[in-house]
Chains A and B, each alone.
Chain A
Amino acid sequence: MPDNRTEIEQKKQVARGGRLKLFNSQTSYLILVIIAVSIVASILNSRFLSARNIFNITQQISVLGILTMCMALLMISGHLDISIGNMAGLVGMIFTRMVLTGYSQGLAVITVLALSTILGLINGIIITKSRTTPLIITLGMMYVYYGIALIISQGRPHSLGGRFEILGRAKIGPIPLTIIIFLLIFAFAYLLRKYTTYGRRINAIGGNKEAAFLSGINVDLHVTTLYAMSGLIVGLGGLVLASRLGMVRADSGTGYELQALAATIIGGITFEGGKGSLVGALLGVLLLGIMYNAMNIVGVSSYMQTIFLGAVIVAATVISNIGKMKKK
């Protein structure tokens, strides 16, 4: 009997090894694609690998990267929020109007961060209390935020007039401040998920909500606070957005939510919840950023770019599911 048992365990080990490899290949495959895209782009245009362009890429991905971390955490918990793009736009707009009205930048920063946390909290409360699906609720909120931004902006773009450039343009040594903010948020999300009891419970809720509830986990509290935290991070994203653009419109954030969703899925986090890695989501952001930049540099039209983005999302989702497609 003991022999038999070790044999079974060995077999299981083999089965498990196979699975782990698959998971690793998901992230290593992303790295390979990123390298491949970079090589092709640098052959087509040597400017791609210049220090200036790499600096540009990191600048360009920071807002998307920050919003992607929100989306990734929410999806790991089995939820999502597609209002984050317009929420960031609204935050940027309110901040700009406050600064233009004469409030101090510090006060404006604190106000909009508090506000975005409350907006996230509202999303969380509606979703947990009404037991409705996050997709529809946040879709509705997406329009609500856009409408508020339109009213506040009176439909016009507003320029910060060179104020508040520090966040978007400053560097620490050679590294832009925005990318540091992004990486700090990534590190925060990564540690939260992997090394805290809060993260463990979020993961469990995403993995099996009913089991989490029956294990005595306060599901509603965790989900609501996660939305609120996501709101706070979106607030930071909105500030980076405003600072980088210097000129904010009501729709400045529109579209980021779908790109963030795309980056998350490319990174291997699925709608099932409870699994996937934040490193994957980070690589997803990097891949999207590099692809956009490369297409710009090579001179692909913006229409074609849109098609490419769609194709990449489809391809990534299909590839991540190849294991399940095979007949048993």
Chain B
Amino acid sequence: MKNAIIRAVNIEKEFPGVRALSEFDFELFPREVHGLIGENGAGKSTFIKILSGVYSPNSGEIFINGQKYDSLSTQLVKNLGIQTVYQDEILVPHISAAENIFLGSQFLRKKILMNYKTVIERSEVLAKRYGIDLEVREIYENLNPADQQFTKILKTLAQSPQVLILDEPTQVFNVTDTDIVLAIIRKIVEDGVSVIYIAHDLDEILEVADRVTVLRDGVRIVTHDKTKETLDANLLAREMVGRAVELFYKKKKHSIGETVLEVQGLKLKPDSKEINFDVKKGEILGIAGLKGSGRSAIARAIFGATEKFAGRLSYKGADITPRNPIEAVKNGIAYLTEDKKTDGLFLNMPVYQNITIVGLNSIHRFFVKMRREKELAREFVDRMKIKTANLDQEVQFLSGGNQQKAVLAKWLFHGVNILIVDEPTHGIDVNAKTEVYELFTELAATGKSIIMISSEMPEIISISDRVIVIRNFEITRELSGNDITEEHILAGYLGAEKSA
């Protein structure tokens, strides 16, 4: 038996009211890629944060290179050569990628002045070594999300780690970039580095990991060894959820009515092609596109939240082009943003106040009738099965799925005709996803129109009645019925010049 680099024994971690990890054992061997999978809240992130010294466990032992530690600190972990690339880590925005890569690194620590040229050269060498094509002189915030992610990965590699922890590193990537990351992983393993790899994409895990540990409700369910058994995504999915799951949602059909919303001549950049599309009553229109393709910009433009260069919006023939969200809301348009925490919810306000904030005027004139307001909010909490201790609970204490439902409730309480949803199931688990899909289908059946932006193929394919594919601020495909397939959407991602 090889000696483990990291061995965690019987780790317990409790947060107020939640046991995040219990009796958790984990081993990482040299030159191993160890995949860690589980639903949101299964305890993956908690474990990673313990390993990187952010949290201390309530009990349990951690051995690193055979040395025993009761808890770790971020500094200690760094000295031991464990590096983590976090999902939502932000680097310094106003300096170059190269400077970010070597910020705080060994070879700069003892120097007072930083030699910019050396930093650039070293970064270029590093990027080249791992086959990354990165303009290292570019200011970090001007890089596209994929290059920002590469910068983060390079930053950790610059420290010559012994162990690299990657928390959903490919979330922002398209297919090619994901392949690059997987190639990097193979290369660093050859160099003798061990990797802990967290991802939601099971195929990716299957491709890159040597062993896979499945977590559910803070407990280790199983650890698979790929050299000894054959694995498939369905098995892993079943183990994650604890029952058989449909990876594709089966949507009930209902009739679709006449065209209600028309977007005409929308231009987000002065030199981009015009975007024209319409949405029908009771229809779910999927907008497929990768991050940075302009799909969210289209939503924001329709909602009046961003400047646009040209374009009109009409509802049932009448021009309603909104200059700001106030006008959009008046015309019955709702926008559920991609990041519900930063721009959808009022985290330190109670659940009921989050639900009623848009529709305040429908229940109150100027003075608030608290009792009536709570009664009405209660109906939505019950109807949408929002799990909350009570109505006065601050919305920040709700789980991701319930927060998403609360954002949806905020709009439904006000009453809307057109619902624009941006990555509606991003970061929520399988069960909550199904509930969100059910709500969407129900809404569409009652005659609302939904524009759903998503980068998740199964979601786009199973929920949409019609799909438009966006690439570089242009529509490259319009698909409906049986044409909505993964191949066609991928073809659309790759560009207009290739006809399907």
Residues of A within 8 A of B15 (CB): 328
Which stretch (A9-17, A97-105, A167-175, A305-313) binds chain B? A9-17
Assess the A196–B368 pair: CB atoms within 8 A. yes
Assess the A208–B55 pair: CB atoms within 8 A. no
Q: Are A197 and B366 also in contact (CB < 8 A) when A14-B17, A15-B16, A214-B335 are? A: yes
B299 to chain A, nearest CB (A): 11
Chain A 81-125 interface 0/1 with B at a Cβ cutoff of 8 Å (1 = within)? 000000000000000000000000000000000000000000000
For residue A21, CB closer than 8 A to chain B, the reply is no
Assess the A11–B17 pair: CB atoms within 8 A. yes
Q: Are A215 and B358 also in contact (CB < 8 A) when A197-B366, A207-B348, A274-B346 are? A: yes
For residue B360, CB closer than 8 A to chain A, the reply is yes
Q: How far is the CA of A210 from the CA of B337 in the complex (A)?
A: 11
Q: How far is the CA of A274 from the CA of B389 in the complex (A)?
A: 22
For residue A24, CB closer than 8 A to chain B, the reply is no
Assess the B360–A15 pair: CB atoms within 8 A. no
For residue B443, CB closer than 8 A to chain A, the reply is no
Residues of A within 8 A of B337 (CB): 214
A141 to chain B, nearest CB (A): 27
Q: Are A207 and B55 also in contact (CB < 8 A) when A215-B325, A215-B357, A216-B326 are? A: no
For residue A327, CB closer than 8 A to chain B, the reply is yes
Q: Are A214 and B344 also in contact (CB < 8 A) when A16-B397, A18-B16, A204-B349 are? A: yes
Residues of B within 8 A of A5 (CB): 387
Assess the A208–B345 pair: CB atoms within 8 A. yes
Assess the B54–A328 pair: CB atoms within 8 A. yes
Within 312-359 of B, Cβ neighbours of A (below 8 Å) are at 325-326, 328-330, 335, 337, 342-349, 353, 357-358
A37 to chain B, nearest CB (A): 30
Residue among B17, B303, B330 making CB contact with A12, cutoff 8 Å: B17
Assess the A207–B346 pair: CB atoms within 8 A. yes
For residue A126, CB closer than 8 A to chain B, the reply is no
Q: Are A211 and B344 also in contact (CB < 8 A) when A11-B17, A204-B349 are? A: yes
Residue of A nearest to B395 (CB): A207
B364 to chain A, nearest CB (A): 5
Q: How far is the CA of A93 from the CA of B390 in the complex (A)?
A: 53
Assess the B389–A214 pair: CB atoms within 8 A. no
A42 to chain B, nearest CB (A): 39
Assess the A208–B343 pair: CB atoms within 8 A. yes
A213 to chain B, nearest CB (A): 6
For residue B466, CB closer than 8 A to chain A, the reply is no
Residues of B within 8 A of A195 (CB): 367-368, 370
Q: Are A211 and B366 also in contact (CB < 8 A) when A14-B16, A328-B54 are? A: no
Assess the B368–A200 pair: CB atoms within 8 A. yes
Assess the A213–B305 pair: CB atoms within 8 A. yes
Assess the B342–A12 pair: CB atoms within 8 A. no
Residues of B within 8 A of A275 (CB): 348
Assess the A12–B366 pair: CB atoms within 8 A. no
Chain A 1-32 interface 0/1 with B at a Cβ cutoff of 8 Å (1 = within)? 00001001101111110110000000000000
Q: How far is the CA of A281 from the CA of B418 in the complex (A)?
A: 43
Chain A 190-234 interface 0/1 with B at a Cβ cutoff of 8 Å (1 = within)? 000011111111011001101111111110000000000000000
Residue of A nearest to B343 (CB): A210
Assess the A200–B353 pair: CB atoms within 8 A. yes
Assess the A216–B358 pair: CB atoms within 8 A. yes
Q: How far is the CA of A216 from the CA of B333 in the complex (A)?
A: 10
Q: How far is the CA of A211 from the CA of B393 in the complex (A)?
A: 19
Assess the A12–B397 pair: CB atoms within 8 A. yes
Q: Are A327 and B397 also in contact (CB < 8 A) when A12-B389, A197-B366, A274-B348 are? A: no
Q: Are A196 and B393 also in contact (CB < 8 A) when A12-B17, A215-B410 are? A: no
Q: How far is the CA of A208 from the CA of B346 in the complex (A)?
A: 6
Assess the A208–B389 pair: CB atoms within 8 A. no
For residue B144, CB closer than 8 A to chain A, the reply is no
Q: How far is the CA of A14 from the CA of B347 in the complex (A)?
A: 19
Assess the A197–B360 pair: CB atoms within 8 A. yes
For residue B361, CB closer than 8 A to chain A, the reply is yes
Assess the B343–A8 pair: CB atoms within 8 A. no
Within 180-233 of B, Cβ neighbours of A (below 8 Å) are at none
B454 to chain A, nearest CB (A): 19
A219 to chain B, nearest CB (A): 9
Residue among B17, B329, B349, B361 making CB contact with A197, cutoff 8 Å: B361
Assess the A197–B368 pair: CB atoms within 8 A. yes
Residues of B within 8 A of A9 (CB): 387-389
For residue B18, CB closer than 8 A to chain A, the reply is yes
Residue among B326, B345, B353, B390 making CB contact with A211, cutoff 8 Å: B345
Q: How far is the CA of A272 from the CA of B358 in the complex (A)?
A: 22
Assess the B342–A216 pair: CB atoms within 8 A. no
Residue of A nearest to B16 (CB): A15
Q: How far is the CA of A12 from the CA of B15 in the complex (A)?
A: 11
Assess the B366–A196 pair: CB atoms within 8 A. yes
For residue B56, CB closer than 8 A to chain A, the reply is yes
Q: How far is the CA of A13 from the CA of B17 in the complex (A)?
A: 8
Q: Are A196 and B367 also in contact (CB < 8 A) when A9-B389, A11-B17 are? A: yes
Q: How far is the CA of A15 from the CA of B17 in the complex (A)?
A: 6
Q: How far is the CA of A12 from the CA of B388 in the complex (A)?
A: 8
Residues of A within 8 A of B328 (CB): 216
Assess the A201–B325 pair: CB atoms within 8 A. no
Assess the A200–B325 pair: CB atoms within 8 A. no
Q: How far is the CA of A11 from the CA of B388 in the complex (A)?
A: 11
Chain B 285-327 interface 0/1 with A at a Cβ cutoff of 8 Å (1 = within)? 0000000000000000001010000000000000000000110
Residue of B nearest to A18 (CB): B16
Q: Which residues of B contact A (CB under 8 A)?
A: 15-18, 54-56, 303, 305, 325-326, 328-330, 335, 337, 342-349, 353, 357-358, 360-361, 364-368, 370, 387-390, 393-394, 397, 410
5 intermolecular pairs with C-beta atoms under 8 Å apart: A14-B16, A204-B353, A207-B347, A210-B343, A214-B303
Nearest 9 interchain pairs by C-beta: A216-B329, A11-B17, A15-B17, A207-B346, A15-B16, A210-B343, A12-B389, A197-B360, A13-B389
Q: Which residues of A contact B (CB under 8 A)?
A: 5, 8-9, 11-16, 18-19, 194-201, 203-204, 207-208, 210-218, 272, 274-275, 327-328
Q: Other than the known A16-B389, A212-B357, A216-B358, what 6 A-B pairs have Cβ atoms closer than 8 Å? A: A12-B17, A196-B367, A197-B368, A207-B348, A208-B345, A274-B349
